[in-house]
Amino acid sequence: MKLTLENDLTYDAFLGGKLHLWQPRRGYRAGVDPVLLAASVEAKPGQTALDLGCGVGAAALCLKARLPDVDVFGVERQAFYADLAQRNGLNVLQADLAALPADVRQRQFDHVLANPPYFDRSASVAASDVGRETAMGEATPLQKWVEVAAKRLKPKGYVHFIHRAERLPDLLAALPSSMGSTQVLPIAPRTGRRAELVILRARKEGRAAFELFYPRILHCGEKHEKDGESYTAEIKAVLRDGAALKF
């Protein structure tokens, strides 16, 4: 796909302007989810992180903006998005996570994070835009995402997934026996509403008991009252100030 900057791309602010990303004007565009995912990673200086299916690099680069001493790396299947991630400043490899090259398979990371496609197309309608469909429609099985993420972890490393709440059973079932200390953070749009997203974190060789945390609420109020930003103070701090999202 040939790009014309004025027509095809936007340069969007994240984290209150601490980070700017080139994105396609049409097709899949990073939103709140990769920012929340990055905020949930409790990395330490000098550690490494791999973003599987990184898109334009939103999750990895939000993590880097909060923790500049963490070395981040991305893998992206679509050349168009991999090129944009590179332009945005992420060290990225264009590859299918199901067929990673040998040099990547030989590396291990302290953290692996992923925002896999949310929708099983056997029960939903495909998007008309190819880039958006690849990002949102599950072509590679979720089990494969979890399997690859676990393999790329160092011993005692952490995997982090954000996904639709209804896919939590699939995520838990896909975790290999090497993964433990599983934690789940539900995310609900408003007070009194059911969780629509979950962030799952698990540790390689972890032995702690499973933990299910209380839901985080995205928006103030029980219903939408008026146009404009309505994020809760905790979520606003994550999205605008680059704060961590604590489990």
164 Cβ contact partners less than 8 Å away, ≥ 6 residues apart: 118, 119, 196, 197, 198
End-to-end CA distance of the chain: 40
* Closest to 93 in 3D by CA, of 141, 129, 143, 57: 57
The pLDDT of 216-225, averaged and rounded, is 86
Which one-letter DSSP state was computed for residue 120?
Answer: -
d(C-alpha 165, C-alpha 198), whole Å: 5
Under the banding of pLDDT at 50, 70 and 90, the label for residue 226 is: low
The pLDDT of 112-123, averaged and rounded, is 78
**Phi, psi dihedrals of residue 3, rounded to the nearest 5°:** -105, 140
The pLDDT of 185-198, averaged and rounded, is 97
Under the banding of pLDDT at 50, 70 and 90, the label for residue 129 is: very low
pLDDT of residue 27: 87
56 Cβ contact partners less than 8 Å away, ≥ 6 residues apart: 21, 22, 23, 30, 81, 84, 85, 88
Buried b (16+ CB within 10 A) or exposed e, 154-182: beebbbbbbbbbebbebbbebbeeebebb
CB atoms within 10 A of CB 239: 22
Q: How far is CA 102 from CA 105, 176, 234, 243, in A?
A: 5, 22, 41, 36
Reply yes or no on whether the pLDDT at 136 is more than 60.
no
Which one-letter DSSP state was computed for residue 99?
Answer: G
Name the E strands within 77-152: 92-94, 109-114
Under the banding of pLDDT at 50, 70 and 90, the label for residue 131 is: very low
pLDDT of residue 242: 97
**Domain annotation for the chain: domains and CATH numbers:** 5-241 (3.40.50.150)
For 17-39, how does the pLDDT look when each residue is reduced to its tens digit (9 = 90+)?
999 999 999 888 999 999 999 99
Extract the tokens encoding 83: 């090129």
Under the banding of pLDDT at 50, 70 and 90, the label for residue 222 is: confident
pLDDT of residue 225: 66
The pLDDT of 60-84, averaged and rounded, is 97
